[in-house]
Amino acid sequence: MKEKQFWNQILELAQERLTRSMYDFYATPAELIKVEENVATIFLPRPEMEMVWKKQLKDIIVAAGFEVYDTEIKTQFVLTKPEEESSTYVMDSENSNHYVASQANLAIPYSETGLKEKYTFDNFIQGDGNIWAKSAALAVSEDLALTYNPLFIYGGPGLGKTHLLNAIGNEILKNIPEARVKYIPAESFINDFLEHLRLGEMEKFKKTYRSLDLLLIDDIQSLSGKKVATQEEFFNTFNALHSNQKQIVLTSDRSPKHLEGLEERLVTRFSWGLTQNITPPDFETRIAILQSKTEHLDYNFQSDTLEYLAGQFDSNVRELEGAINDITLIARVKKIKDISIDIAAEAIRARKQDVSQMLVIPIDKIQTEVGNFYGVSVKEMKGTRRVQNIVLARQVAMYLARELTDNSLPKIGKEFGGKDHTTVIHAHAKIKSLIDEDDNLRLEIEAIKKKIK
Ligand code: ADP
Ligand code: MG
């Protein structure tokens, strides 16, 4: 039958034109009612679909028309099917099951998605450390639930995890305004759950979360150590969405295998899709980030100033942003438009003074805490034995002495049994690079830092 051939042709072309999730949203639910007198009547269950059909699929209909009918076919869109005036929203075609679930729910107002508009792919600077995470995030926003599900992004603080998560949500909503998207930190998810539980409104809770097309959960590590019942609810939500082919994206400050205090079966599920790591930006990327964050400002940041800043903060983009804010504050007060290295240095000095309590930490305090942690005595740390755990403790302590105090390198060397300052430099560099690769070590050092402060 020609009509069928015509419609198949349209769908085929639409499939090439649209991403998979766009196709599911816009093409699958549409139906060809008839072709009469060179006019095709196409049923669209939702009025918003018309835009996409008119804008992106119009020439496809024309092409299919010429191919099948050998003439120009015009189109008329209808929102009700002739035989069932009263129930516009009922659909019967087999392949649209997937769609029906979400269609029964209305779009979520942007203010309730939890998303922040300012975080987009456009203003996310790509660099060596985040290119894979960014590519995966982009892939997800092009092909909801088909490429990587779940997508799990992890990395240290201030490296853009929350930014990327929001960018996915914003990108999807740009392409598919009626997609049901929710961004929520894991901690808030738990609170939301407990609150609904308390009010006896679990059905409502389930309905909210299980009707989503895209669930973005930030900082999943905060589920660690939570009650089994809480983790259970997360587990159920995860399963319900995943088995309905709905997209889930998670972030964490550590990789799935280092999520202690989390049920094994949850951790296993996190690894079903794709896991991507974000590592700190290299110098060039930091410069690019600084450029993008300062170019729209009223202040003129000289390029050596940007280089100076990029050299000061190397492991956290949030700190770079903080430095820019401090600088513009000072510049405003002083009514300066051109930001020189001197101004930047002044602002940063003030910033570092905020954390000046750190500077009075005595080195022996660091040695004691590191020693306690690794089961190594301070004496061994000051000695020269090269047993593995002693070497590690010694290097970590030197690293922390350098990071947390303003002692000179020779002074630090001296406190470690009179070692050369190059030994301190080496230890610092070694631990610093190990931290990038070794989640465990990073977490160990964070734990030790907490003890010291
Ligand atoms: P995380 O969630 O990993 O702790 P965020 O996403 O909150 O980090 O990022 C901290 C700040 O740094 C945010 O303001 C974010 O916009 C910015 N940021 C991080 N990485 C980038 C990047 N690659 N390009 C632009 N801005 C970035
Ligand atoms: Mg975050």
For 283, the 3-state DSSP assignment is: helix
Residue 103 lies in a domain: no
Atom of ligand 1 nearest to the CA of 157: 4
Q: Are residues 156 and 273 in the same domain?
A: yes
163 CB near ligand 1 (under 6 Å): yes
CA of 383 to the centre of ligand 1 (A): 42
Q: Rounded to whole angstroms, how far apart are CA atoms 139 and 162?
A: 17
CA of 124 to the centre of ligand 1 (A): 8
Q: What local confidence, expressed as pLDDT, does residue 376 receive?
A: 92
pLDDT under 70: residue ranges of the chain: 83-105, 352-359
Q: Rounded to whole angstroms, how far apart are CA atoms 129 and 397?
A: 27
Q: Are residues 272 and 198 in the same domain?
A: yes
Q: Are residues 121 and 249 in the same domain?
A: yes
135 and 191 Cβ atoms separated by less than 8 Å = no
Radius of gyration of the chain (CA): 28
Residue 440: how many CB atoms within 10 A of its CB? 13
The number of domains in the chain is 4
Q: Which of 257, 277, 297 is the last residue of a domain?
A: 277
Which CATH number do you get for residue 345? 1.10.8.60
- Indicate yes or no: pTM above 0.75: no
Q: What tens digit of pLDDT does each residue of 303-314 get?
A: 999 999 999 888
Which CATH number do you get for residue 444? 1.10.1750.10
Atom of ligand 1 nearest to the CA of 218: 2
Q: Are residues 172 and 269 in the same domain?
A: yes
Structure tokens at 409: 């390198």
Ligand nearest to the CA of 119: 1
Ligand nearest to the CA of 318: 1
Q: Are residues 256 and 124 in the same domain?
A: yes
Atom 20 (ligand 1) nearest CA: 160
Atom 26 (ligand 1) nearest CA: 124
Q: Are residues 220 and 239 in the same domain?
A: yes
158 is in an annotated binding site: yes
Q: Rounded to whole angstroms, how far apart are CA atoms 251 and 158?
A: 12
Q: What local confidence, expressed as pLDDT, does residue 87 receive?
A: 37
Atom 14 (ligand 1) nearest CA: 318
Residue 140 lies in a domain: yes
Q: What tens digit of pLDDT does each residue of 15-25 get?
A: 888 877 778 87
Ligand nearest to the CA of 185: 2
Atom of ligand 1 nearest to the CA of 288: 24
Structural domain span for residue 79:
2-91
Q: What are phi and psi of 300, to 5 degrees?
A: -100, 105
- Owner of token pair 């989503």: 212
275 CB near ligand 1 (under 6 Å): no
